[in-house]
């Protein structure tokens, strides 16, 4: 068995240690969160990392991160410098895209009123704003309708169609919804309205009647772009529309709209919808972050200020700071706030909406915390059920998805939270367990009024007297898969570091391998035998920590939303003790200075040395 080497490379990372070693990293077989720590790279990955470092002149730690994301030696340059020029496909590869572009171009040229129906999440708001801002540049500002989550529900509904018809719309564009809205789209047709759908959700075999339904996940689409979110699809539709208008001579003698200026919105939707940051999505986000740093979109700039975002935005800022504030409107307030914020050109209006969303987000946090406290107590009565199913009579339907996500994090099991107010439930799963298929099966078995989703998330509606039966059904159906998934759960570590090695320069080198997100996980680093010199609760739910290495070097760290979770409790109890810790690295910019912050995800007690 190969021992874990302690040799330091020029960046301060330890290595090599390999995923195929029999012994877990630092002998951690069950951390505070129940995970086995292991190296991300196996022997082949170690060899690839070495070759990357040598051929491309990269620091060892950066080479390890690149190799750990499955990138071969010949693909490194494209990975480190994703180019929209090379990644952007011809929009016509998407089924129905040409028909969509022609119908939109006709509406622009004829001056027809256009209505947009958007989902109430970040992807929907971003998609609506992309189309809204582009049409605005052409002098054809559309009417945008975002359904109320509780009163109207998800998708294109009858209320949305009637509202836009009464406003005079002759063409409706559904973004991030519409693929399964058969009844509402048939109603639109009966009113003489044309409909174009720009979506990415799983498509049924029979599609609703439309002028064009653009969705890379419809069964007859061969584009290979199924990883795009709706904002990515909408941007391609704008590219196709712009090309069609150019062909018709629309821009003769005048400057064309700057499509690249819309990429900040594409990046926002892509990150917040948690689609894989590979291929075109990686180029979208890389270029979009560069656009966002220019602060040209008044709404995004105001939201960044309201969120107290310091320094240039990174992908995780979009997912953890900006996205939740936009979603807050759809969860507990006005569903249309996010779309209006992202589309406005008025800095004063943007500041007001951003402040409203920030306030709603704080209220959402309080509502969520109250529901989560009740849900936590309920889980104690469920024992070792492989699937956590809880319901609260007073839980706001807008936060049940967040409660389910927190329960999944805390228990390491799939979780479903249900609002007793209307029977609406939302579920989140763990890797290797297909919750969406199980929910669909529960509908077929008569346990649910309706429901569906994908592997990692699902939505449903259930009667109060059917909840126990649903719990039994899901536990029996998913039990073996949950057991297997939890048995194989582990924490994949890219490299080991010390507090002294975690410098701003190192973090900047690591960020060259970004952007990070779904499909391209943030690099995870382990710190062995560091003392917890301070630990306290901040912001009501976060645990702020300082760790110190044996040479006295200190590093600030924080565990988000962990105060009541096993991780947070373990850190608070470990003041003055030596622990192994693991997390991701970032730079906090404040008052003109820069400091490295470790975002903690796990900790473990050092094993008692073995006597061989």
Q: Which residues pair with 461 in a beta bridge?
A: 424, 450
> 333: helix, coil or strand?
coil
Give start-end residues of each CATH 3.10.310.30 domain in the chain: 382-489
Alpha helices in 380-466 (DSSP H): 400-411, 435-444
Please give the Cα distance from 553 to 549 (Å, whole number): 6
158-166 and 182-190 helices, crossing angle to 10°: 30
- How confident is the chain (612 residues) per 10-residue block, as mean pLDDT? 31 49 84 93 96 95 95 95 95 98 98 96 97 97 94 91 97 96 97 97 93 97 96 98 97 94 98 93 97 98 95 92 96 95 98 98 94 92 92 93 92 93 90 91 93 85 95 96 87 95 93 91 96 93 94 95 90 96 90 86 84 51
What angle (nearest 5°) sits at the alpha carbon of residue 317, between those of residues 311 and 322?
110
Is 252 exposed, middle or buried (CB count within 10 Å of its CB: 0-12, 13-18, 19+)?
A: exposed
- At 10 the pLDDT is 36
User: In this structure, what token pair is assigned to residue 222?
Assistant: 């061969």
Burial of 78: CB neighbours in 10 Å, binned 0-12, 13-18, 19+: middle
- In CATH terms, the fold of domain 90-358 is inorganic pyrophosphatase (n-terminal core) (3.90.1640)
Label residue 432 left, alpha or beta by phi (over 0 means left) and psi (-120 to 50 means alpha).
left
pLDDT of residue 226: 95
178 three-class SS: coil
Q: Are 352 and 344 in contact (CB under 8 A)?
A: no
Task: Considering the chain, tell me which residue range(s) the CATH 2.40.50.140 domain(s) occupy.
Answer: 25-68+494-604
Beta bridge partners of 419: 392
Task: Write the CB contacts of 187 (distance below 8 Å, at least 6 apart in sequence).
Answer: 158, 161, 162
25-68+494-604 topology per CATH: OB fold (Dihydrolipoamide Acetyltransferase, E2P) (2.40.50)
Phi, psi of 219 (to 5 degrees): -70, -20
pLDDT of res. 250: 96
Length of the chain: 612
Range 382-489 has CATH code 3.10.310.30: yes
Q: How many CB atoms lie within 10 A of CB 476?
A: 11
pLDDT for the residue numbered 20: 55
């Amino acid at each position: 068995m190969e021992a874990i080497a302690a040799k330091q490379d020029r960046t301060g990372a330890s290595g090599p240690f390999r995923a195929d070693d029999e012994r877990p990293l630092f002998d951690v077989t069950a951390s505070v969160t129940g995970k086995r720590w292991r190296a991300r790279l196996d022997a082949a990955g170690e060899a690839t990392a070495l070759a990357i470092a040598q051929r491309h002149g990269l620091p060892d730690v950066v080479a390890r991160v690149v190799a750990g994301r499955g990138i071969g030696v010949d693909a490194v340059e494209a990975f480190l410098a994703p180019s929209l020029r090379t990644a952007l496909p011809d929009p016509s590869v998407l089924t129905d895209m040409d028909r969509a572009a022609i119908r939109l171009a006709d509406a622009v040229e004829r001056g027809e009123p256009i209505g947009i129906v958007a989902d109430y999440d970040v992807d929907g708001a971003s998609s609506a704003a992309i189309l809204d801002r582009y049409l605005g540049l052409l002098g054809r500002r559309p009417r945008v309708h975002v359904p109320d989550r509780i009163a109207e529900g998800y998708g294109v509904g009858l209320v949305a169609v009637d509202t836009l018809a009464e406003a005079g719309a002759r063409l409706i564009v559904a973004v991030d919804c519409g693929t399964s809205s058969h009844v509402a789209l048939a109603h639109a047709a009966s009113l003489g309205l044309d409909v174009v759908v720009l979506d990415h959700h799983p498509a049924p075999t029979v599609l609703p009647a439309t002028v064009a339904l653009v969705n890379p996940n419809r069964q007859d689409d061969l584009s290979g772009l199924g990883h795009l979110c709706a904002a990515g699809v909408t941007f391609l539709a704008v590219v196709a529309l712009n090309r069609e208008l150019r062909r018709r001579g629309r821009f003769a003698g005048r400057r064309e709209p700057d499509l690249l200026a819309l990429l900040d919105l594409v990046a926002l939707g892509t990150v917040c919808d948690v689609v894989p940051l590979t291929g075109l999505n990686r180029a979208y986000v890389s270029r979009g972050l560069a656009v966002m740093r220019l602060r040209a979109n008044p709404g995004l700039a105001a939201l960044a200020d309201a969120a107290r975002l310091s320094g240039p935005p990174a992908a995780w800022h979009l997912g953890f700071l900006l996205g939740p504030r936009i979603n807050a409107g759809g969860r507990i307030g006005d569903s249309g706030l996010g779309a209006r914020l992202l589309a406005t050109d008025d800095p004063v209006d943007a500041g007001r909406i951003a402040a409203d969303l920030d306030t709603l987000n704080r209220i959402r946090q309080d509502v969520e915390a109250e529901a989560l406290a009740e849900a936590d107590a309920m889980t104690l009565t469920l024992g070792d059920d492989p699937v956590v199913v809880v319901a609260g009579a007073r839980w706001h339907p807008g936060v049940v998805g967040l409660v389910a996500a927190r329960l999944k994090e805390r228990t390491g099991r799939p979780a479903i939270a249900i609002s007793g107010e209307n029977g609406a439930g939302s579920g989140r799963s763990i890797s290797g367990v297909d919750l969406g298929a199980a929910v669909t099966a529960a509908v077929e078995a008569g346990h649910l009024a309706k429901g569906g989703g994908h592997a990692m998330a699902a939505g449903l509606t259930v009667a109060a007297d059917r909840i126990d039966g649903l719990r039994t059904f899901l536990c029996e159906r998913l039990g073996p898969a949950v057991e297997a998934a939890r048995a194989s759960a582990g924490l994949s570590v890219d490299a080991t570091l010390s507090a002294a090695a975690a410098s701003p320069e190192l973090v900047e080198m690591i960020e060259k391998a970004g952007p990070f997100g779904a499909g391209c996980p943030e690099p995870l680093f382990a710190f062995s035998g560091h003392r917890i010199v301070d630990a306290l609760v901040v912001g009501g739910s976060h645990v702020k920590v300082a760790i110190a290495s044996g040479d006295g070097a200190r590093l600030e760290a924080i565990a988000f939303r962990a105060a009541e979770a096993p991780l947070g409790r373990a850190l608070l109890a470990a003041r003055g003790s030596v622990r192994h810790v693991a997390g991701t690295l970032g730079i906090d910019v404040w008052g003109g200075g820069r400091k490295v912050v470790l975002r903690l995800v796990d900790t473990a007690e050092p094993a008692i040395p073995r006597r061989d």
